[in-house]
Amino acid sequence: MITKLKPILIKSKRKVFSEKIGNNPSPFKGEGYDFMELREYMPGDDIKFIDWNITAKMQQPYVKVFHEERELNITLVSILNGSVHFGSTKFKQEVIAEIIALLSYSAIKNSDTFSSFIFTNKQEYYHKPSKKLHAVHSIIENILSFDSLKKGIDFEVIANLLYKRLKRKSLIFIVGDFFEIPNFKLLAKKHEVIAIIVRDKLEENPPPFGLASLQDPQSGNNLDGDFTQSAVNSYKEQLNKHDQILFEKFKKDSIRYTKIYTDDPIWKKLKQFL
């Protein structure tokens, strides 16, 4: 997978830097702001900035107005447990690397500081805050060369470590396939957290392929069975329920999220979302 390093770096850098700055505002609109004043709500204002206490007292909606800080602190988190070692068009791990590359170059273009983590059930890698191009090379090389097979995931470790480690208010991008439900509620109270869910369409909509022996890339265990249409339908139903719980949890914790598939135009999807 490390052979993908140069193509990903070249492609991502070209996507970010080839567009004219005047026509391409920064995709980062995080909450790197200092409170300035309150004013009456106007159509188009973000409802998350409504001050509900003042709104209740005045009997009309008021929003908080902020001074934007000149520099955002961007934290990029790659979750590389075993299940990212999968893909029908390209591996999810490769897509995660491309997403992190695009976000890193966007931070550089916007003169923002960015740092990077790799997590499984522990911290596997950390790159200190930087604004340099060579930092992107190091970060993406580590993502692509990381052996994710038979690696588990512990979201509690991630949430606790980031909460303690990040002293300054940050815009945190957490990128993984999220087949487990995280609890980032406390982290999202201190920082702005954005979840990017990377999936492959085949794993969400598999065909009935009959008798087969499969290996779980996270645990390494073999699963033998007859994968009939009924079994596939049951699996898809359970996955759909999981994702509905995941999305509701993100909404409840004020975490923005999007899903990107391995065959999606990644830069286009990121720009539309951000």
Q: Over range 234-245, report the average pLDDT.
A: 97
- The residue to which tokens 């979201």 are assigned: 155
Average pLDDT over residues 49-60: 86
Find the DSSP H helices in 18-165.
52-58, 92-109, 133-145, 155-165
Q: Which CATH superfamily is domain 2-21+73-273 in?
A: von Willebrand factor, type A domain (3.40.50.410)
Residue ranges of domains in the chain: 2-21+73-273, 33-68
pTM for this predicted structure:
0.83
pLDDT band at 33 (very low <50, low <70, confident <90, very high): low
Contact 99, 196 (CB under 8 A): yes
Is the pLDDT confidence value at 66 over 70? no
Instruction: Output the pLDDT for position 21.
Output: 40
Name residue 139's amino acid: I
pLDDT surpassing 50 at residue 243 = yes
Q: Does position 22 have pLDDT exceeding 50, yes or no?
A: no
CA distance 32 to 111: 14
| Helix, strand, or coil (residue 142) | helix
Tokens of 114: 């960015």
Mean pLDDT of 191-205: 96
SS3 175: strand
Q: Alpha-carbon distance 113 to 47, whole Å? A: 28
Q: Write b or e for each residue in 204-243: b if 16 or more Cβ atoms lie within 10 A of its Cβ, otherwise e.
A: eebeeeeeeeeeebbeeeeeeeebeeeeeeeeeeebeeeb
Angle at 254 between CA 50 and CA 242, to 5 degrees: 150
Contact of 129 with 166, CB cutoff 8 Å:
no
Q: Is the pLDDT of residue 124 over 60?
A: yes
Give percent of the chain with pLDDT exceeding 90: 67
